Structure 1
Amino acid sequence: MSTKTLIDHLQQQLRFARHVEPAQAAVLIAITKEDDPKVLLTRRSKHLNQHAGEVSFPGGKRDPEDSSNIAVALREAHEETALNPYDVELIGDLPMQQSKSGLTVKPVVGLIPAQIELVAQPTEIDRIFFASLRELMETPTQPHAVQYQQQTLYFPSMHIEEEIVWGLTARMLVSLFKYGLKYDKEWPFLLNMAPLSVDLHAMTK
């Protein structure tokens, strides 16, 4: 697949679901509109109670005044990165995901201008960075060790831009590859066998 056609593929393949359930949270997968498109990612603050220091998409929980999953994703992206909602060209959504805490999360996909200037909300975000969509597709899967109940589990991850992308964020990227680009990236749930006593559903980040 030619790099300059990645945006064309996304625009052709992605749509918004006709019957959309209100999710408990939503994220914005923002992709720069250029020949070598890049994905907007953030590293969450180390001081947060949940997912501290982890790479994620801009997003968060639904507020009572949010009218839709799209509204949640755009509001949260603006709050976390100062991304102007009017700079986002919405092109579709992806299947609902579930966080390890049990929240239903809706990924919303949009295009943004290249070289856009963003500002991290310091209480929530330590870093804003952009990763090449093609490199994310092609980067080898590597094991990421997670300590859980006195044992180590190894989850698949992508190492890019000196960051580790794993868990819910990585699964959403794999979903983007599948539905938006017809590219199946092999993505096992675990890279080692966990004891049967482990609640694997609870470990879904």
Structure 2
Amino acid sequence: MITPRFKADSLIDQLRQGIGFAPSPRRADAAVLLAITQEEQPRVLLTRRASHMRHHAGEVSFPGGRREAGDTSNIVVALREAFEETGLNPFQVELLGELPSQRAKSGLWVKPIVGLIPPDVILVPQPDEIERIFYVELMHIIKAQPLPYPVQLNQQQYYMPSFQLDNEIIWGLTARILVSLFRRGLRHSIEWPLLMNQPQDII
């Protein structure tokens, strides 16, 4: 992993310069809002999905969801879902841009929309979908060493790279979107393999 050479107070300025919107964006199957607090030590808004959900139960994710028939853009999808899940007022979001679409394990193509929010915004989790709303400092994620996380797939156990912060495990699509944010918006590369060796094999 490359050691960051930038300061926390310059992160938002770099994101403003490094991220934008495509002139003719493609309609994705779903969208998420990667919301970052606009403050000296910017934080990333994350949620933990309810344990009774049929898909991605108990996983850490960004607010977001599938496109609905009346949604006119990826931005509309991300802002609508964020409002439904956390109560975030769309008018409190300063849009910065988008990241490349990522394919979820469900097969859906997900478009990350990046925006800034006030640090003191009041959010309330929608209990049918969200168990917890929390924040992690962006710099803490940038400096975090990817750790192996065991996942059962097709009756076999694999070890996926993950960020383990604030007693939460950030892996899968959410982690890949963060890595994309660092690469695209901050020109900071993190080695992020699809699979990792078993813990005893890692030095």
TM-score (norm 1): 0.93
> How many residues are paired up?
193
Distance 1:115 1:160 in 2: 21
69, 94, 108: which one aligns with 1:64: 69
**Correspondence list, 1:105-184, <5 A:** 105-184=110-189
41, 44, 48: which one aligns with 1:36: 41
The answer for the alignment partner of 1:89 in structure 2 is: 94
SS class of match (1:73): helix
Once superposed, what is the RMSD of the aligned Cα atoms? 0.9
Q: What are structure 2's unaligned runs of at least 5 residues?
A: 1-5, 199-203
Alpha-carbon displacement from aligned partner over 1:161-186 (angstroms, at most 9, x marks no partner): 11000000000000000001110011
Following superposition, which runs of at least 4 residues in structure 1 exceed 3 angstroms of deviation?
none
Alpha-carbon displacement from aligned partner over 1:170-203 (angstroms, at most 9, x marks no partner): 000000000011100111110039xxxxxxxxxx
The structural deviation recorded for 1:122 is 0.3
TM-score (norm 2): 0.93
SS class of match (1:79): helix
Structure 1 stretch 146-155 or stretch 41-50: which is displaced more? 146-155
Distance 2:93 2:155 in 1: 44
Preserved CA contact (<8 Å) 2:148 2:197: no
The structural deviation recorded for 1:149 is 2.7
Alpha-carbon displacement from aligned partner over 1:22-51 (angstroms, at most 9, x marks no partner): 001000000000010000000000000000
SS class of match (1:34): coil
Distance 2:155 2:106 in 1: 20
The answer for the alignment partner of 2:103 in structure 1 is: 98
Distance 2:103 2:182 in 1: 18
Read off the aligned partner of 1:174 and give its amino acid letter. V
Q: What fraction of aligned residue pairs are identical, expressed as a percent?
A: 56
The structural deviation recorded for 1:112 is 0.2
The structural deviation recorded for 1:148 is 2.0
1, 17, 20: which one aligns with 2:25: 20
180, 187, 194: which one aligns with 2:192: 187
The answer for the alignment partner of 2:201 in structure 1 is: none
Distance 1:125 1:163 in 2: 14
Distance 2:154 2:109 in 1: 24
Read off the aligned partner of 1:99 and give its amino acid letter. A
